[in-house]
Structure 1
C-alpha cells in the first residue's frame, strides 16, 4: 500500500543525515558541550525532515529547535512550542548500515539537574513551571490563573518544562519506530545507550529477516 507521508519524509531524513556528515555517514558520532549539542539539535529541529522526539518519562513531542538556556550549562529544546530545559551530557548519532536510514537516531543523554524547589514533591524527574522572568520560576497553576501575586502575568512570562534526568531519542517522524505506539514507554531512557542500540539492531535484524 502506498504511503505518501513515508515516501515524502524518509528521503528527507536520509538527506538531512548525509548533509550533516558531508556524505560520509559514520556508524556513530558524539557531541559534547551545550553549544555543540544545541547547534546540532537546532539544525534537526528546523530541518524539513520531520522528527519525533521521545521523552525521558514516556511519550513524545516534535523538536522545533534548540538554544542555550537561561540556566548555566543547560540547553532549551523547543518541544511542541514549549521550551524544555535540561543539562546535556552527550548527544550521540547512531547509524545501521544494514538498515534504511529511518532506523538512524539521535540519543540525548542528560546530567542530573537540581529541582527548582517550587514543588515539595515530584511524581517524575521533571517540572512544569511558569518562568516569570529569566531563571525565575513559579508553579504552573499561575499560568492557568493568568496572574501572580495579584498582578496579571507579563508578556514575558511563559511555560517551561525542566527535565531533571533521563534521555531523549530522536527518530524520523515517518519511521516505523514512531509508528509503533509501544515505543512511547520510554525504553530509550530505561535502557543503557548500548542496550538501546542493540534493541534497535534487533529490530533491524527482524525487518531484514522479513524481507
Structure 2
C-alpha cells in the first residue's frame, strides 16, 4: 500500500493537489475530516478521506477505522479500504486512506419504493449481523453513512467502531453517534454502553427516515399511534409488522430490543406479507380482531346502538380491500366507509365513491372460532323499516328499495340516477344511488376467507338461517378447514 507522506498545511479546494492526488470534488465532510473524490494521473478516481483535525482522540479513531477496514477486508456490505497512510506518530504528515467511489444515500434513495428500500435494508442488516457476531458494533448508524456500491447498500465511516479487544477511548459522559438516530444509552454512558443494541436502535430510526423521506429522525420511542406512524407516509400499505418492529427496536431499554437476526426475520416477514395479498388480508383480519379485543377475542360479542355499530364497521372498512359484505338479497360487495344516514337511527354503508346501502341497524354481532380467525365474521341485523313510498322502488321480495337520494333523506326513483335528471335538471352533486333495506341480515368476512372463496355462498344463505343456525353452519365448515 502507498505510504507517501503528505501534509494538508493549507485549505484544500477543488483542483488542489494532495500528494499524488488531484482533488476533483468534495463529497463528504465531518467534524474531523473530509472526503474527496480524487485521482492519480491516468488512474480511476477514488474517494480519499483526509484527517483534518488531528488530536490524540481523532488520530486514535482514525487508526482504529483503518485497521478495522483492513481486518474486515472485502466483507460484503462494507466499503473497502484501498490505500492508506497512517503514520505511527500523529505529528507531521496528514493521515489519509482511500475507498471506491460510491453513490451517496441521498442520491440512492431518490425514487426508491418502500419494498425496494426494505429489500436493501435487509442486506444492510445482514452486514450488521455479521459484525455483531464478531462483537463489532458500528455505533454511528445513520443514512449519511450508507453508500450504494456494487448493487447494494453498504456501511461506511467506521470512526466510532468498537470491538471486544479495542481500548476504550471515549471519555465518560461523552455521547457517541448521530444525534437524530442515537440510542439513549449512547447519550448517557457511551463509554460503557453495549453498542450492539445501540446499532439496532439507530438502524430502526434510519429505516424510518428512508421510508418516510424525512431529513431527520425523531426523538424517543416510535409509536404507530402518533404523527410518526408509517401509515401517514405509506398510504394504502400494510405497516403493522413494521410498526411493531420499530417500536421494539427503539425501546429505551436496550435489553428489550431484538437482535439484528430478529430484525432481518421481521423485515422479511413484512415483505412476504405485502407480496402475497392472501396472507396480508388474513393477517390484517386477525389484527382487526386484536384491535377490537386487545385482551383476547371472545366467542361472541354484540354491539347495539348506531354509534357503537358505526365505530366497529368503520374499523372493518378502514383497511382497503379487507372486507367482503354479503347482502341479504344475494351477492356481495366491499364497504369502503360507514356513516350515519339522514333518517333517524339509520346508517349508510358506502360502496365505492357514491353508492350507499341504507338500513336501520338492530345489532352487530362478532363470531369467532378459536385461533383460526379466517372464519370469524360480523353479522349485521337490519331492523324492520317501512317503505319510503317512492313508486316502483320495492324489489320483488319487498326487502329493499332501489332509489336515488337527491339530498340527505330525500328519495326519488332510481331512474333519476340512470338518466342523471330530476325535475328536468341535471342531478345535484349531493345525489347518489341508494339501496334502502327494510329487513334482512348482512355478514362480513375477510376478503380472502374460505367463505368468500366459495362462489355458492353468494346465494344469501346467511339470511335464510337464524343467527344461531348460521354460526353452527360456519363452525362445522371451520372444523373441516
TM-score (norm 2): 0.41
Distance in 2 (CA, whole Å) between partners of 1:86 and 1:75 is 6
Q: Which of 1 and 2 has higher RCO (CA within 8 Å, sep 6+)? A: 1
Aligned to 1:156: 430
Distance in 2 (CA, whole Å) between partners of 1:15 and 1:48 is 14
Distance in 1 (CA, whole Å) between partners of 2:418 and 2:320 is 33
**Gaps spanning 5+ residues in structure 1: where?**
none
Aligned to 1:35: 307
Aligned to 2:387: 115
Aligned to 1:65: 337
Q: 3-state DSSP class of the match of 1:71? A: coil
CA shift, 1:119, in A, is 2.6
CA shift, 1:79, in A, is 2.5
CA shift, 1:49, in A, is 6.5
Where in structure 1 do 4 or more consecutive aligned residues deviate above 2 Å? 119-122
Distance in 1 (CA, whole Å) between partners of 2:430 and 2:443 is 30
Question: Whose Rg is larger?
Answer: 2
CA shift, 1:139, in A, is 0.5
Residue 20 of structure 1, aligned match among 292, 309, 329: 292
Q: Deviations over 1:16-51 (max 9, x none)?
A: 111111142111100001111011101110125611
User: Does residue 1:168 correspond to 2:442, yes or no?
Assistant: yes
Q: Is the 8 A contact 1:32 1:89 kept in 2?
A: yes
Q: Deviations over 1:96-125 (max 9, x none)?
A: 01x511100000011111111113453131
Q: Is the 8 A contact 2:321 2:334 kept in 1?
A: no
- 1:89-168 superposed matches below 5 A: 89-97=362-370, 100-120=372-392, 121-124=394-397, 125-168=399-442
Matched residues, number: 204
Q: 3-state DSSP class of the match of 1:203? A: helix
TM-score (norm 1): 0.92
Residue 182 of structure 1, aligned match among 434, 456, 474: 456
Question: C-alpha root-mean-square deviation of aligned residues, in Å?
Answer: 1.5
Q: Is the 8 A contact 2:285 2:446 kept in 1?
A: yes
